[in-house]
């Protein structure tokens, strides 16, 4: 029987261990990926096991300086000032870079093993998952560590390495190519892999790319690429014939009356139908986000959540906290000790990577650009029916007239777009997605400090592109300009 050896990505290895440690590894003490079952087991690691949430939130306009006192560690303070984080540590951009390339390495090994085993229909589900997972990790990397996709400049904007082969050498040279090339490769993997996915092969579907999760990913990909007809095409598959409502969180009845502890536990449960894909991430965000100096201030929280709604009525989100900061309970850290008798260990957070709510907003936004205003409003009203306290369609249905009046404008399209963006900010607070909206709409960000000063990140500031790890110079990659 042939043996298929698992190699760890050089790109991630450089971030996690020294080259000497890698070369000291006993060559025969490696995992043999030689059965379909082992390929499936390998694909459990084909998802980034680090979190983008902390640094994306801290860079966004979801935060301000909450109170006087000592600044937190550089991991949780430098992003607030849009400074490059040099530490290779949990919750850092470099940690996420390494985790993405480790996930890509797992996908590539799975694909190589499938090919060596002869492929065939019986291995198509694993092949589909590997392709879509590889596409996702590259998608996240290119949107964070390269200029955001712009069709007019993507062919010349510096991208990130798109790795498609198992790596067998240390310090392999990589070409970053262009953002357009990376997007083309993502699309190729996504389109090839999605039809092959079969939900039935998963023991725990919520942690894998199911058909629903893969279609949700496709709807986000095409939204960022501004191919709006395809956004609707893939979002429709998530909605199904019954629409989105049955698979969304109902804050009006299921969440608003519950305690902080219950909400933060249930929010990221696999049994929550709204969670289309969950990832277990090594992160301390669940420990620090609520008491963090740079977070959602009481003033900012009131402005975002309690300023009313263009449809009328009040939102039913449950905010907790005090004058030092408020927050929605979304993260519940679980701590894994290194041994049963030890007091040390590692913190983990379960993060929803794709949700039904996001797909609803993707379709609403796409329909707006396609000129389907009625369809856009229909999705927004579905959302409001589950978010407005004591919802009554007779008084709370959103119309273009109401929406225009709310913003004091006759620009119906512009007002609806602003509503979508505002609703997205509320819904995904603390989850990092706001940063991507700021990137794709080239919105500037201002952070106010307790001492009366402030700093602004302009719409075209080069610091909106995260710096690739300094260690990547070893792989021959140019750094992003500063």
pLDDT tens profile 130-180: 999 999 999 999 999 999 999 999 999 999 999 999 987 666 778 899 999
Considering the domain architecture, whether residues 462 and 344 belong to the same structural domain is answered as: no
Structural domain includes residue 385: yes
Instruction: Give the model's pLDDT for residue 5.
Output: 37
Residue percentage of the chain with pLDDT more than 70: 91
User: Tokens 């119906």 — which residue?
Assistant: 412
- The share of the chain scoring above pLDDT 90, in percent, equals 78
Question: What is the span of the domain harbouring residue 319?
Answer: 227-443
Residue 267: CB atoms within 10 A of its CB come to: 20
Q: Answer whether residue 363 is part of any domain.
A: yes
Token code pair at residue 257: 């009356």
How many Å apart are CA 321 and CA 296, to the nearest integer?
Answer: 10
Q: Residues 61, 108: one domain?
A: yes
Would you state the torsion angle of the CA atoms of residues 399, 392, 246, 249, taken in this order, to the nearest 10 degrees? Answer: 90
- Please write the tens of the pLDDT for every residue from 320-366: 998 888 999 999 887 676 667 666 778 899 999 999 999 999 999 99
Q: Tens of pLDDT along 252-284?
A: 998 999 999 999 999 999 999 999 999 999 999
List all residues 6 or more positions away from 170 whose beta carbon is below 8 Å from its beta carbon.
10, 13, 19, 22, 23
Are 235 and 141 within one domain?
Answer: no
**Residue 408 located in a structural domain:** yes
Q: Which residues fall within 8 angstroms of residue 87, CB to CB, at 6 or more apart? A: 74, 75, 94
**Range name among 103-107, 374-378, 475-479 with the lowest pLDDT average:** 475-479
Same domain, 195 and 320: no
In whole angstroms, give the CA distance from residue 80 to residue 466. Answer: 13
Tell me the C-alpha distance between 178 and 158, whole Å: 5
Which residues, at least 6 apart from 474, have a Cβ–Cβ distance to it below 8 Å? 14, 171
* Residues, the chain: 482
**Residues 443, 351, 212, CA angle at the centre, nearest 5°?**
90
Do 108 and 20 belong to one domain? yes
Distance CA 403, CA 47 (A): 40
Does 254 share its domain with 177?
Answer: no
Q: Say if CB 7 and CB 111 are below 8 A apart.
A: no
Say yes or no: 195 and 257 in one domain: no
Mean pLDDT over 25-31 rounds to: 47
Q: Is 307 in the same domain as 279?
A: yes
Rounded Cα gap, residues 398 and 173, in angstroms: 54
Residue 30 burial class via C-beta count within 10 angstroms: exposed 0-12, middle 13-18, buried 19 and up: middle
Distance CA 274, CA 269 (A): 10
Any domain includes 324: yes
Alpha carbons 282 and 304: distance in angstroms, whole number: 29
- Measure the CA–CA gap between 464 and 445, rounded to whole angstroms: 10
Residues 436, 467: one domain?
A: no
Q: Is residue 222 part of a domain?
A: no
> What's the confidence (pLDDT) of residue 343?
66
63: region left, alpha or beta (phi > 0 left; psi from -120 to 50 alpha): beta
Asked whether residue 27 carries a pLDDT value surpassing 50, the answer given is no
Say if residues 241 and 379 touch (Cβ distance below 8 Å).
no
The rounded mean pLDDT for the chain is 90
| pTM to 2 decimal places | 0.92
* pLDDT tens column, 405-462: 999 999 999 999 999 999 999 999 999 999 999 999 999 999 999 889 999 999 999 9
Assigned domain for 209 exists: no
Helix ranges, 146-208 (H): 179-193
**Structural domain count of the chain:** 2
With 0-12 / 13-18 / 19 or more C-beta atoms within 10 angstroms meaning exposed / middle / buried, residue 199 is middle
Buried b (16+ CB within 10 A) or exposed e, 155-188: eebbbbbbbeebbeeeebebebbbbbbbbebbbe
Q: Is residue 212 part of a domain?
A: no
Q: Tokens 């700093």 identify what position?
A: 455
* Mean pLDDT, residues 117-128 taken together: 96
Instruction: Provide the CATH number for the domain around residue 75.
Output: 1.25.40.390
Tens-digit pLDDT profile for residues 400-410? 999 999 999 99
Enter the tokens of residue 105: 């390495």
Do 257 and 400 fall into the same domain? yes
With respect to residue 220, please indicate whether it lies within any of the assigned structural domains: no
Do 435 and 465 reside in the same domain of the chain? no
Contact present, 129 and 208 (Cβ < 8 Å): yes
What is the per-residue burial (b if ≥16 Cβ within 10 Å, else e) of 208-231?
A: bbbbbbbbbbbbbbbbbbeebebb
Whether 288 and 427 share a structural domain: yes
């Amino acid at each position: 029987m042939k043996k298929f050896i698992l190699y760890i990505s050089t790109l991630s290895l450089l971030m996690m261990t020294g080259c000497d440690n890698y070369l000291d590894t006993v060559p025969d003490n490696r995992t043999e990926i030689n059965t379909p079952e082992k390929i499936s087991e390998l694909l459990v690691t084909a998802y980034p096991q680090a979190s983008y949430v902390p640094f994306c939130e801290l860079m966004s306009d979801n935060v301000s300086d909450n109170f006087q006192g000592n600044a937190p560690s550089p991991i949780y303070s430098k992003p607030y000032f849009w400074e490059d984080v040099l530490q290779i540590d949990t919750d850092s951009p470099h940690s996420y870079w390494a985790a993405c390339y480790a996930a890509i390495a797992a996908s590539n090994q799975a694909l190589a093993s499938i090919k060596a085993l002869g492929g065939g229909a019986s291995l198509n589900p694993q092949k589909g998952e590997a392709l879509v997972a590889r596409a996702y990790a590259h998608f996240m990397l290119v949107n964070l560590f390269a200029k955001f996709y712009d069709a007019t400049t993507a062919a010349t904007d510096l991208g990130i390495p798109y790795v498609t082969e198992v790596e067998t050498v240390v310090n392999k040279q990589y070409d970053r190519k262009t953002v357009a090339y990376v997007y083309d490769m993502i699309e190729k993997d996504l389109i090839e892999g999605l039809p092959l996915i079969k939900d039935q092969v998963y023991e725990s579907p919520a942690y894998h790319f199911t058909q629903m999760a893969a279609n949700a990913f496709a709807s986000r990909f095409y939204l960022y690429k501004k191919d709006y007809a395809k956004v609707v095409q893939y979002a429709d598959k998530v909605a199904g014939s019954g629409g989105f409502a049955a698979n969304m969180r109902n804050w009006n009845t299921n969440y608003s009356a519950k305690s902080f502890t219950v909400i933060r536990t249930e929010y990221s449960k696999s049994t929550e139908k709204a969670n289309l894909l969950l990832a277990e991430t090594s992160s301390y965000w669940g420990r620090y986000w609520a008491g963090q100096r740079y977070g959602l201030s009481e003033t900012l929280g009131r402005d975002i959540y309690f300023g009313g709604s263009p449809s009328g009525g009040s939102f039913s989100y449950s905010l907790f906290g005090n004058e030092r900061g408020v927050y929605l309970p979304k993260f519940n850290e679980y701590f894994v000790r290194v041994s049963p008798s030890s007091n040390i260990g590692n913190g983990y957070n379960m993060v929803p990577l794709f949700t039904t709510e996001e797909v609803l907003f993707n379709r609403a936004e796409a329909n707006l650009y396609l000129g389907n205003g009625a369809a856009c409003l229909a999705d927004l009203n579905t959302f409001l029916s589950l978010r407005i306290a004591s919802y009554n369609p007779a008084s709370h249905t959103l119309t273009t007239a109401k929406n225009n009046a709310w913003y004091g404008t006759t620009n119906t399209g512009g007002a609806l777009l602003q509503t979508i963006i505002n609703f997205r900010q509320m819904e995904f607070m603390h989850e990092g997605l706001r940063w991507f909206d700021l990137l794709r709409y080239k919105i500037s960000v201002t952070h106010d400090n307790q001492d009366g000063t402030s700093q602004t990140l302009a719409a075209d500031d080069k610091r909106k592109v995260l710096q690739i790890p300094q260690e990547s110079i070893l792989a021959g990659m140019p750094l992003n300009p500063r």
